Structures are given as structure tokens and as C-alpha cells.
Amino acid sequence: MTTTDTTEYVVDGLTVPLRLLIGDEWTAGADGDTVPVVNPSDGSTLASIADATPADGTRAVDAAAAALPGWAATPPRERAEILRRCFESMTEQGEQLARLISLENGKALPDARGEVAYAAEFFRWYSEEAVRVIGEISTSPSGANRIIAQHQPIGVCALITPWNFPAAMATRKLAPALAAGCTTVLKPATLTPLTALAIARIMTEAGVPAGVVNVVTTSRTGAVMDVVLADPRVRKLSFTGSTEVGRHLLKRAADNVLSCSMELGGNAPFLVFDDADLDKAVDGAMVAKMRNGGQACTAANRLYVQRGIHDRFARRLTERMAELRLGPGHEPGVDVGPLVDEASVRKVDELVRDAVGRGATVEVGGAGVDGPGFFYPPTVVTGVPADARMVTEEIFGPVASLIPFDTEDEVIAAANATEFGLAAYVFTEDLARGLRVAERIESGMIAVNRGLVSDPAAPFGGVKHSGLGREGAHEGMLEFTETKYLAVDW
């Protein structure tokens, strides 16, 4: 059951505020404007949220700056216990959160449940890391003094999250920032803001003090974030999104010399060698390609399959993709939900048409779906030439593009022939080859014989134009600290 009024949206008993969170107040924007949130399964409006102005951005920074001294001085164990309560509360409300994600994002419920569990785990992981911001003491080489290195909270942090994982991308930033002792201004994606607002409410109810987490939802992202990033009290920017937007934000952040963590676009190669276990490789491809319907920066974008196994792999993958049920993500039994909006459908369709026009063959799918909602069917395209757009651009949809190869050197060169370097996948039963190939691929994360690379306990991030810094693991918390050096005589 879902209900809504002007201030709250309720999903199966889960209450979602529809206003900005600034300090201790859920408030309308300065001019009272709202922006609709659309259900991608049918195009209907789920609710309307407050539309923040630049003045609201400044108010959020005011609240975060006022809360910073107290939160930074809060004992690490106390911060840890609050984060642990966030994990427990989020887990208890997991089914309602999954349904909310499915309604506003479109992903199928099994995917949404997986995201909630993954997102909650960041709270648990960083509840354990909060007490481990450990410095070092050493003797200077001359023996004249001691060197003390401390990790201190970096300060007020601006966090910008995308629409494709509205829960996990929020907690992956909020949890380490709070564990380190920082305060935050979170700007969730306008397409999927409800999940972030629900998580913020969970956090306040778990004991996060007023002003430590502030949430500004807005359709005027550029204007609002320009004001936030220009504020000298803000010392950190953490962004997940496209490389194009990331480049713009880096330029804005340069004016105040902000520390930046940027998780940007991907173009993940998926390499299958002749000696791979076929069942394992196909299972891995289904996960790496179809998680969130292919709308993931880590999604397998280019599937390079060695010629000796190519045709068998293509048949098996086509059979598996044809079995998937397409429909509204929140309905039981659906495997693949809609894409997030009409523009996404158009782009995916353009990429498929471009590949076919260059000689590729559609084995299954390959055409839009009539009726309401933003649907595109699971699709397999074989014989994709190197000059096809889907080889160089993120597909961000349920389309698997297969490309045959002959030699190890050939496929490594192809895998690295991109400006991106976020994730990659390698399938082979030869461990030496797997490690050798993984070392040569220019990517921040490599999955060997598995289709899932994300883990809260592992450092997540890319190289080249796929980003800066790391999220997750201990490194993810250190991104929200400054190292202070003390030279001490004693």
C-alpha cells in the first residue's frame, strides 16, 4: 500500500518525508517549489518533493558547519553505536525500502532487496571502522624528535549520489563520513530522491544529531551545488555519476582546492577464455550484465569471448536472457524492470541500431516495448564491430554485446582501448593466466571467475577517467580525513 500527502509518502508503513532535511527540521524549499518523482514502470507521479534553491544549499552548509565541532568531538565508540543502530533499523525495514527503491527506480524486487542489504552493510562496516582511525608515532631519522601522524575529520562534506543505486550510493558516502567525524550535505539524484530521504529519517531516529546529515533535493542541481562548493566551510566533495558531470564538478572544486572522491563512468570488459568453465562464465555474465537491468557503472559493457568457446557461450547467454521476465519492478516474479526514463530507452535503442547498422546481429530482444513505462527487453547482440558506439560508450541497459577474439595480447589491448578503467571481469580456469591478465588490464577493480565485484569491505574505485580515490574498506574512511603531522621533542 502506498499513500501520499504534501509532506510524507508512505510505502507499506515506511514513512518518507518529502521535504528538505536541514539541521533538525524537515522543511520546504525557500520558494516553496516542488518537483515530481515518477514511477518508471508506468510514468505516473509517485509524489512531489521539495525543490531546494541555492539559499537552501547555504542553509544546509550552515547546519553542517554548526554541527561539526560537536560531532568531531563525539567519542568514536558513540559514533560507531549510532551507525550500528542505522544498520539494524535499515535491515528491519528492508522489505519496505526495497519496495520503495523498486517504485522510484524501477529495478526488480530481487535486485532492490540485494541493494538494501548491500547498502545497510556500509553502516555495519563503518560502525566497526569508526574506532580504527589510528595514527602513527615514529622517531625521526636523525633521532632529534618524534613524528606523530594523526587522522582528523576533514570537515563539512558535500555528497552527490546517482539514481541507479539510491540507497547504496548514499550509505557508501554517509557511513564513512560520519565514522570519520565529518558532517554532510547530501544531494541525491532528482530522479530517485525518496530512498535517500527515507534513509535520512532512519538515521535521525537512530540518534544522528541535528545538522550532521542534511539532505537537499533539487531540480536546480548546478545552481545549488555551485553555492555549496563555493562555500569555504565545505572541504570535501564525494560524487558518483557520469564522467562528463565529474569533470565539471572537479573544475568547480578546484576554486576552493577541495579534496575530491569521484566514482565516474565505466566501460567494463568481460573476458572469457577458451578454458573457462562455461556454466560459471554464463552465470557471471548474467550477474555482471543484468544487475539493476544493466544500469550500473560496473556492468559488463563489452563481452570479449575467445573464438573456441564463443558460439556456445552466445547460445547459452541468449537462452538465459530470453527466459527473463520483463515488467514493473515491484511486481512479484519480474526479473527485469524498466529503465529509469525515456531518454535512457532512446539511448539504448540508438546503440543497438548503430551496432546492427555496422553488421552486428541481434540474437534476442533488440526493440522497444509498446505501452506505458520505460521498458527495453533483455538483448544479446553478436558480431559487434570495434567501431560500434556500444564498444566505446556505456550502454547502461540490458544489452549484452559479444565480440570474438583470438589471442591474449589482442584482447588485453582491446580491453584497455578506452578512457575508462573502473571494473573488469576475467574468466579462465588457468589461475596463472587469470592473475597475469588481471595485472595487465587498466582497471581499478578486477573480478576473476565471478560476476560481482562490489563489497563494502573492499576498496571501490577506478583509474583513468573512471575516477579518483576509493570508497569502501578502510581506505573509504580515510578519504574523509586529513593527516596532521606533529614534530615533537621529548
Query: For residue 88, what is its C-alpha cell?
Result: 539494524
Q: How far apart are the C-alpha atoms of 438 and 105, rounded to whole Å?
A: 33
Of 104, 115, 121, 263, the active-site residue reads 263
Q: How far apart are the C-alpha atoms of 58 and 213, rounded to whole Å?
A: 14
Q: How far apart are the C-alpha atoms of 388 and 6, rounded to whole Å?
A: 47
Which residue, among 391, 433, 419, 429, has the nearest Cα to 304 in the 3D structure? 391
With beta carbons less than 8 A apart as the criterion, state whether 453 and 423 touch. yes
Which residue, among 162, 48, 175, has the nearest Cα to 105 in the 3D structure? 162
> Is 263 tagged catalytic?
yes
Which residue, among 318, 315, 313, 321, has the nearest Cα to 427 in the 3D structure? 313
Q: How far apart are the C-alpha atoms of 60 and 51, rounded to whole Å?
A: 14
> Quick one: CA torsion of 391, 395, 273, 363, rounded to 10 degrees?
-100
Q: How many CB atoms lie within 10 A of CB 3?
A: 10
Which residue, among 214, 217, 134, has the nearest Cα to 180 in the 3D structure? 134
Q: How far apart are the C-alpha atoms of 6 and 48, rounded to whole Å?
A: 8
Which residue, among 57, 467, 422, has the nearest Cα to 247 in the 3D structure? 467
Of 86, 182, 260, 297, the active-site residue reads 297
With beta carbons less than 8 A apart as the criterion, state whether 286 and 487 touch. no
In degrees rounded to 5, what are phi and psi of residue 71?
A: -70, -40
* C-alpha distance from residue 168 to each of 17, 220, 313, 386 (Å): 19, 23, 32, 34
> Is 78 tagged catalytic?
no
Would you say how long the chain is, in residues?
490
* Catalytic positions: 263, 297
